[in-house]
Chains A and B, each alone.
Chain A
Amino acid sequence: MNSREQILSDIRTALQRDPQSPRQPLPASARVAARVPGDASAEMQMLFNEITRLGGVAQHVPADELTRALEQLVQQQQIRRATCWNTPELAALNLPARLTQLGVQLVSPHADPRALAECDLGVTGVDWALPETGTLVLCSSADKPRAVSLLPRVHLAFISPSALRADLDSVLDEVKGERYGVFITGPSRTADIELTVTIGVHGPKALYVWSIVK
């Protein structure tokens, strides 16, 4: 008997289970009530409050002030190199052009990880968000490489109100079809040294979340 068969057999013996007998469904006590959301703007505000509480920066940016906001960010965070997701939403914002205009060098999101590691800024969208916990959910694909939100020092995420979901349960339903997703709640952190909370360990040191308003 190979290990797989041995382990499964040991389990069945331990549980006194007949493998032919059907599995009972999860009991009703295994479910909890979903959270009821407030109105759309209250939800967005809740998300922003949570992100701020965690040391991120969340703001509404008027569409015609996008370049100015980017300029401020580039100056504050000394952005010299940036990389972006290759999505229609970010393309519609004309991000690569705006950044280049500000003197920022654009690196392909498909570049070698070492090149991405030398980027100061990674720009992504947000697939879904959870206001209650301040969580952003980012899935990946050829156009949305994983490292863009991981390697650069600063992570800038553009969020649309349609990404908001009331409860973790609904996000999990959405994520079911995806092969990879990361739930991001604030910038990276640790309290390993004398319990002193330090922001910015291996993941991004700074998290910016912008919602473009017309």
Chain B
Amino acid sequence: MHLPEHIDFRANVQSVAPHIPRSVRQATTRFLGTRQAVVDVLGNERWQALRQAGHAIRLHTLNYLDDYLTRLEEQVVAAGGIVHWARDAAEARRIVLDVMRARGVRRAVKAKSMATEEIGLNHALQENGISVLETDLGEFIIQLAGVGPSHIIVPAVHLTKEDIADLFTRKLGVSAPADPLQLCAIARTRLREEFLAADVGISGANFMVAETGTLVIVTNEGNGRMCTTLPPLHIAVVGIDKVVPDLNALNVLLKLLPRSATGQKMSAYTSFITGPRRTPQEGGPQELHLVLLDNGRTRILSDPLLRQTLLCIRCGVCLNVCPVYNHVGGHAYGFVYSGPIGAMLSTQLLGVRAAAALPFASSLCGACAEYCPVQIPIPEILLRLRRRVVEGDHSENAVAPLTLRASARVGALALRLPWLYAIGTQILAFLQKPWQREGWLTRLPPPLQRWTMVRPLPAFGANFRAWFRHRANVTK
């Protein structure tokens, strides 16, 4: 299976090709710039009011999640849709496969959906003889290339147009020039055929509206509309945390999402889908299946602070503004979700045994929290997850080695003793002598050599207290 057993963030970082962070940074700079422009048009006051409202709506929904999910199901069913509940990834895959097999599905087209990547759906379908084609251009490209996404919104941004032209030539059997416009045209023609021939369209949803049973899908290319309109069967796999109370909630969330994500006032297409088509003349799928996915989300709900991880509306702005992400790109995070949201969500979905490295993949600068459209207290959540890693909590046992935990305890105890601390500072000032040169320490023993391998440390020199005391005596 595709789930990572152990994410080694440091090793991943060390093996990142330098062109990846470079292209990632171009994307993030672009999106932050366009975001700022549309936020400026609204004005900071209106923007902050929206953020506050977004936070309130999402938190309220999570606090009554069972209620809203029940209502959602009622409404989807009343509109003629079919609702399935999946406790975990395996069950979700099984449900989708069963629905498809019962209808003799052979060809699937897929709109971009992180939930389906989270459960490894593509692989499962392909293993069962069903062809799955990613139709979002960036996803289509990385599917052809067999690589993972480097950015949530533009997953193929680390590939040059030459790379893509070469890819299309080899895999699609066409003569593809290295020109974005023409490459798009090639993808359009190729995928159009697929949209028209597919037996099923698979999608996620950005939001699910409990009041009306509506799936809301935010896209730009039109592939989302194609996947959910042309094939006779539509299957949506959506995390249970995506529900919102009513349509009016979207008044706030749709104002936050496109602006935060790409600096657009509205995406090119926002689809509101309530059940399958009513009449054949209308067009659209005859059957609509909604698979509600838990896969660890209910566990996250149990702590009021960590619960706020689920406020996320998947805009990607935390990635764009994160200095760590900007220097390493998406692959380093080892799972579908990267950047600050990845550090929070992957850790809680995969568990600390696999993902202990992630809560520490942050300098806690807080830029993400400043930009998050729904005010997720990201650094606070990361700090709490760090505690889970080294001390354990009600949810999971600690995974940090016993020796580390013991030394931390010893160090902490030592700081309860001011005389020991005072001696310590003097000892350090003394012990460093052979290592010191002109006020700097350029080499230190492990583990502190991880500091000096990057830059020198100023020499230890604790002499303030003596100075202060002497001064006080002199003035007496």
Q: Do chains A and B touch in the complex (CB under 8 A)?
A: yes
Task: Decide if A68 is an interface residue (CB 8 Å cutoff).
Answer: no
Q: Does A125 make an interface contact (CB < 8 A)?
A: no
- Identify whether the interface residues of B are mostly helix, strand, loop, or mixed: helix
Q: How far is the CB of B433 from chain A (nearest CB, A)?
A: 54
Name the contact of B79 in the complex, choosing from A179, A183, A193 (C-beta under 8 A): A179
Looking at B152-160, B319-327, B403-411, the stretch in contact with chain A turns out to be: B152-160
How far apart are A17's CB and chain B's nearest CB, in angstroms? 7
Please measure, in the bound complex, the distance between the C-alpha atom of A204 and the C-alpha atom of B227, giving whole angstroms: 15
Q: Is the Cβ of A192 less than 8 Å from the Cβ of B154?
A: yes
For residue B187, CB closer than 8 A to chain A, the reply is yes
User: Which single member of A2, A110, A203 contacts B269 (CB below 8 Å)?
Assistant: A203
Cα distance A187–B53 in the bound complex, in angstroms: 30
Does B273 sit at the interface, judged by CB under 8 A? yes
Tally A residues with Cβ within 8 Å of B.
75
A11 shortest CB reach to chain B, Å: 4
Name the one of A24, A146, A194 contacting B161, with C-beta atoms under 8 angstroms. Answer: A194
Residue among A12, A19, A176 with max Cβ neighbours from chain B (10 Å): A176
With an 8 A cutoff between CB atoms, is B181 at the interface? yes
Least CB distance, A44 to chain B, in whole angstroms = 17
Which residues of A have CB within 8 Å of B188?
A: 200-202
Q: Which of A30-38, A57-65, A69-77, A92-100 contacts B (4 or more CB under 8 A)?
A: A30-38
1/0 contact string of B163-190 vs chain A (CB within 8 Å): 0100000000000000011011001100
**Distance between B195 CB and nearest chain A CB, rounded to angstroms:** 7
- Cβ contact within 8 Å between A203 and B284: no
Instruction: Say yes or no: A172-B248 contact (C-beta < 8 A), given A10-B294, A201-B188.
Output: yes
**B100 contacts the other chain (CB 8 A):** no
Complex interface: stretch among B218-226, B414-422, B454-462, B467-475: B218-226
Within 8 A of A (CB), among B62-83: 63-67, 69-70, 73, 79
Q: Which residue of chain B lies nearest to A202 when distances are taken between CB atoms in the complex?
A: B222
Bound CA–CA A144/B278 (angstroms): 12
Is A192's CB under 8 angstroms from B272's CB? no
Question: Which residue on A lies nearest to B273, using beta carbons?
Answer: A180
Instruction: Tell me if A23 counts as interface (CB < 8 A to partner B).
Output: yes
A66 to chain B: closest CB distance in Å? 27
Q: Smallest CB-CB separation from B275: which chain A residue? A: A179
Residue B26, interface by CB 8 Å:
yes
Verify if B15 is at the interface (C-beta below 8 Å from A). no
Question: B195–A146 contact, CB under 8 A?
Answer: no
Using A167-B251, A202-B135 as known contacts, say yes or no to A146 and B282 having CB atoms under 8 A apart: yes
Chain A to chain B contacts (Cβ below 8 Å), 17 pairs: A8-B66, A10-B294, A32-B251, A110-B280, A172-B250, A173-B248, A179-B275, A180-B284, A184-B268, A185-B268, A188-B221, A192-B138, A193-B156, A193-B183, A201-B137, A202-B188, A204-B222
Residues of B within 8 A of A (CB): 23, 26-27, 30, 46, 49-50, 52-53, 56-57, 60, 63-67, 69-70, 73, 79, 84-87, 91, 135-138, 141, 154-157, 160-161, 164, 180-181, 183-184, 187-188, 191-192, 195-196, 211-212, 220-223, 225-226, 229-230, 240, 245, 247-252, 254-255, 262, 264-275, 277-284, 292, 294, 298-299, 301-302
Which A residues form the contact surface with B (CB < 8 A)?
Answer: 2-4, 6-8, 10-15, 17, 19, 23-24, 26-27, 29-33, 50, 109-110, 113-114, 117, 130, 132-135, 140-147, 150, 167-169, 172-173, 175-176, 178-196, 198, 200-204
Known: A143-B281, A191-B154. 17 other contacts (CB 8 A): A4-B85, A15-B302, A30-B57, A109-B281, A146-B225, A150-B226, A172-B248, A180-B273, A180-B284, A182-B269, A184-B268, A192-B138, A192-B155, A192-B156, A194-B160, A194-B161, A202-B191
